[in-house]
Structure 1
Amino acid sequence: MNQNEALVKSAIHDAVIRAVTEISADVKGLLKDALARETNETAQSMLRSMVDNLSIAKEGDKAVCQSPGYPTTWLSFGDGNLPECAREAVSEAVAEATKKGYLRPSMVDPLTRENSGNNTGKGVPNIEYEYHPGQKYVDFIISFKGCGAELGNAMQIMTTAKLGKNLSGLKRFILETAVNAGGKPCPPYGIGIGIGGQMDIAAKLSRKAISTRRWDDVNPDPELAALEAELKDAINGLGLGAAGTGGDTVCLALKMERAHTHTAIAPVAINFHCWVARRAGIRIYDDGRVEKLL
């Protein structure tokens, strides 16, 4: 193993352990803000338990949730600096975290349901690669997204007519999806929404939006920023609350991304992310420096 490979593997191992024993600081802040604002006593109790759980997990060096989530990594790289060991490094780190008890073995064959035993397997962990010319560093964002939240997800291939005047059809679809999901996605949650491309692109955008962006950021696209704020307020106005028991905050963040699509369609993917935002980001510079991102 050369020095660069050792550096990459060590950094990814540390990021994986951090990702599963903590939630990112931005989400932790939003969770505490929600607790401070909450007026419903039951929701207050739920939120307080969530915040307390984070402290217990960190102090005991334990997983923040019993479910391991589904591991996906976003890797962005520049000219000639893509680590050849990237996939191996992520797979080894996930398997090692499972062996040490940080992750429950939960990855199974989709048909036979046979468990791989170490949270790796065909297509797992998933890695999404992005090339950026001239970039002098490599970014890894490692996300373990809970799969209970997946049960609330929805997809629709809309048309111009279905989008509706002033996007009324799009907004209705998103709100109806939140109502139908109820407490299944372990609220308070984040929602990622991908619009455009074809079905596969919209789905990828929805996952990337809620897994790689800070939950407290503002979308640089002003049209999407306005939509995000409007829809987040509308969903919180439903009164579903923490754990679906009623309350002021069910949605901590709503993030949208879009891509151009064919004139005949407007694919929309809605992706729920439970409050356990297990993710860690690192930046490895070409000179060997390592920086924490998320």
Structure 2
Amino acid sequence: MSDDHVYLTLAEEHEDDTRWAYGTGFEDPLHGVDTTVPDGVDRAALAGLCLALGDDALVAAQRLAEWTTRAPELEEEVALANIGLDLLGQARLLYARCGQVDGTGRGEDAYAYFRDPAGFRNVTLAELPNGDFAFSMVRLLVFASWRLAHLQRLTASPDPVLAAVAAKGVKELTYHRQYAAEWVVRLGDGTEESHRRTRAALRQVTPHLGELFTAYDAREEVVAVLRQVTDAAGVPLPAWTPGPGAGRRGVHTEHLAPLLAELQSVARAHPEASW
């Protein structure tokens, strides 16, 4: 299966959209959206969901930012930076909504910069070190496929703000997933060395898959996408067992603390600064 075939198959449901979302979406996704929390919506549950999804996006964006000046080609450096910016934009909107509904009135900076690792609710997959390029592409494929399936469901959320954020995110994540899919196929079906690294990356990522499917039922949908890509790449998708959502409970790997220390250093050194 060629890269183009993979692209057309995965993206056909969005064929009316432009191929690349990077640099687009400057319109306010919340323009005209009623920000009042609807009657009957559990505010605590809504805030918890926004916080977790915001943490996923922020931590993943920080990892992608680490490829700046390190990507194998300038084009890939720009692409990865823009994917990270998409995720950062999602995190900002989700944190802002969390502050509106959790009763604290906190702004997005409070969530991003002034919580310790135990206060974060991101999945552990997002916080793993980048490793080599093959690992980052496999991780991005899994993360984007899972997050896309999740946000597609949330476009029907009873909360109009979360639904609007999800709708914007779906367009972005469709292309994040496709970018990663094309690279996984290229690497898996490339040289003997790139094939070896892609197989190794899948083995490293799959132990973290079980955590992704504890909160909602999208396993079959996501696994079907992953199998489509790995079959095209000529690499097997290892088996895994469902596990507890450790990251969602604030239990993280040793890799999150140093990532947050770098992310939060300036804000914590100058907590009252404005830019």
Q: Do these two structures clear the TM 0.5 threshold for a shared fold by scoring above it?
A: no
Greater share of residues in helix: 2
Bigger Rg, structure 1 or 2 = 1
Q: TM-score, normalised by structure 2?
A: 0.28
Greater share of residues in strand: 1
Q: TM-score, normalised by structure 1?
A: 0.27
